[in-house]
Chain A
Amino acid sequence: MIPVGFDYQRPESVDAALALLAEHGDDATVLAGGHSLLPVMKLRLAAPEVVIDIGRVAELNYIRVDGDEIAIGAGTRYRDIVISDVLAKECALLPAVTRTVGDPQVRHRGTLGGALAHGDPAGDLPAAILALEGTIVLRSPRGERKVPITEFYTGVFSSVKEPDELIVEIRVPRTGSTGWAYEKFTRRSNDWAIVAVAVVTAADGARRIGLVNMGSTPLRAKATEAALAEGKSIEEAAALAAEGTEPPADNAGTPEYRRHLVTVLTRRALQTAAG
């Protein structure tokens, strides 16, 4: 399978990438690791006229502590997140979730910014960043804006990101090395989640729960979070995990199956996070 022909541009700075995006608008697509984009281009589900490869933009590749948060460059590869000492200590949920994305070859190429821009509701990282209440930093020739992940996604594969905007950074709170869990249910080791549940414990002790593949966007298990805040047991709270979700039907499971599965995985994740 070979993509439809396109023009290829490889800027070496964010400013150069933004200038190309401004010039080509809707006709252009950003290529980072390419492990979401190239498969859909090979299937000819996408046929951009211009591909802007930001894979060599070195200024997008970093992980650093910045006050109460960790700042992660959008071009940071999965592999670099998995082996990051900073994240292991300051936000251990993120490398643990990233470790389950694809396989070693995929993790050598895929990037955090790419996963979030793609916005697959079956993807691991959007729900993990949602559980963390992270922030997405977008830049365009009009300036920079910070969008909370809670306001980022608008539907399947769609977000508030404008065509001339580039995700340049992801910011997550320093939630530490404990109090988290990721329960992912798949049929094959490097497959997408049928359902997955990310749990993180915030600084005030509140549990935040992100759900993978339970709707058209990553979702929070708000009823479960509220029940925990009211002092309900993990078992009682987890039973509410499917409230407000609209899980898909596919050959991996029916919506009913996913509604049941999410309660089981949420219970397990909360138990693990409680230590």
Chain B
Amino acid sequence: MKVEITVNGEHTSHDVEPRTLLAHYLRENLGLKATNIGCDTTSCGACTVLVDGEAVKSCTVLAVQADQQSVTTMEGLEGAAQGELGHPVTRAFRQEHGLQCGFCTPGMVMAAVSLIDENPDLTEKDVREGLEGNLCRCTGYHNIVRAVLVAAGKDPDAAQAAEAVSGERTTAPGFSTGEGDK
């Protein structure tokens, strides 16, 4: 089946099997290898890209589902084509050392772009909850959260200090808070 997908602003078209995953379309048909496939089970978020501006896990979307839509990968962020950190999120990840091995980074960055787009006024809690679908097995979350705060125009030290004194629960939604909070 022929699909036409605008990827990073450029029209692409290939004849693919309907079972082709969007992640495979990006990596194999287009040769865009920033999008990593980690768990392949919708858990780790390494394959996160934007479809029509919203973060999705491209291992759980068919290429045919993105037909006639617009996809953005990390290669599509400002400056990436020139090897430069031209986007606020990628700049902030470098500034705050928001990566260690780097495998989760493209997914983290694209999830962060979507998160900031949906809620420009992020708190530290919002960032931690908003990245619940992305796993970093280096466990480098602390600096990743700081990077996203910086990209959103926040002072990470102030945001983390505010979080520390707020006494708010720090567990993600869905976690039982036990008896203490009631």
Which B residues are CB-close (under 8 A) to A103? 45, 132-134
The stretch of A113-121, A164-172, A180-188 that contacts the partner chain: A180-188
Indicate the member of A3, A53, A106 with the most B CB atoms within 10 Å.
A106
Least CB separation from A109: chain B residue: B56
B132 A104 Cβ-Cβ under 8 A? yes
The stretch of B89-97, B137-145, B151-159, B172-180 that contacts the partner chain: B172-180
Residue count of chain A within 8 Å CB distance of chain B: 41
B19 A3 Cβ-Cβ under 8 A? yes
Cα A2 to Cα B45 in complex, Å, equals 18
B42 A51 Cβ-Cβ under 8 A? no
Q: Which of B51-70 contact A (CB under 8 A)?
A: 51, 54-57, 60-62, 64-65, 67
Rounded to whole Å, the gap between the CB of A127 and the closest CB of chain B is 14
A189 B172 Cβ-Cβ under 8 A? yes
The listed residue (B67, B114, B182) touching A104 by CB distance below 8 A is B114
Residue count of chain B within 8 Å CB distance of chain A: 40
A2 B19 Cβ-Cβ under 8 A? yes
Is B17 an interface position by the 8 A CB rule?
yes
Q: Which of A255-272 contact B (CB under 8 A)?
A: 265, 268, 271-272
Q: Which of A5-40 contact B (CB under 8 A)?
A: 5-8, 10, 31, 34-35, 38-39
Is B148 an interface position by the 8 A CB rule?
no
A38 B62 Cβ-Cβ under 8 A? yes
The listed residue (B62, B115, B173) touching A100 by CB distance below 8 A is B173
Rounded to whole Å, the gap between the CB of A190 and the closest CB of chain B is 5
Rounded to whole Å, the gap between the CB of B147 and the closest CB of chain A is 17
The listed residue (A6, A42, A190) touching B174 by CB distance below 8 A is A190
Is A210 an interface position by the 8 A CB rule?
no
Rounded to whole Å, the gap between the CB of A250 and the closest CB of chain B is 17
Which A residues are CB-close (under 8 A) to B176? 183-186, 265, 268
Rounded to whole Å, the gap between the CB of A87 and the closest CB of chain B is 16
Cα A184 to Cα B176 in complex, Å, equals 6
Least CB separation from A51: chain B residue: B18
7 further contact pairs, Cβ within 8 A, besides A34-B62, A39-B42: A2-B19, A8-B64, A104-B115, A104-B132, A105-B55, A109-B61, A268-B182
